[in-house]
Amino acid sequence: MPYEGAVTIAILSLGPADLPAIRDAMIEVYREAFAQPPYRRGDEDARELAESLPRHATFAGFQAVVARSGSAGGVAGFAYGYTLAPGQW
């Protein structure tokens, strides 16, 4: 039984075609998560992520997940990754 005030979280897998519709919400989550110390990421960092995400989605092995919360389904978090080639960071 959930406790009073509990929020339901749904984890959804995304493909590259899903990203344009949700990218802005993902960037807002990034802004909130990394604005405070020790990260202190700002608007430039958020812009870089917004620009690189569509490119990353074309890389081999790309996978993304989004956590949606509550009845409105707002984005609460996300993660993504892809397969790196030898010698890449």
Q: Where are the domains of the chain?
A: 9-80
For all residues of the chain together, what is the average pLDDT?
Answer: 90
pTM: 0.82
Q: Report which of residues 7 and 67 the model is more confident about.
A: 67
pLDDT digits (tens, 9 = 90+) for 36-66: 999 999 999 999 999 999 999 999 999 999 9
Helix axes 19-34, 43-56, angle to 10 degrees: 140
**Which pLDDT does position 28 carry in this prediction?**
95
Tell me what pLDDT residue 1 has: 59
Starting at the edge strand found earlier in the chain, the sheet holding 74-81 runs 9-14, 63-69, 74-81
Predicted confidence at residue 30, as pLDDT, reads: 95
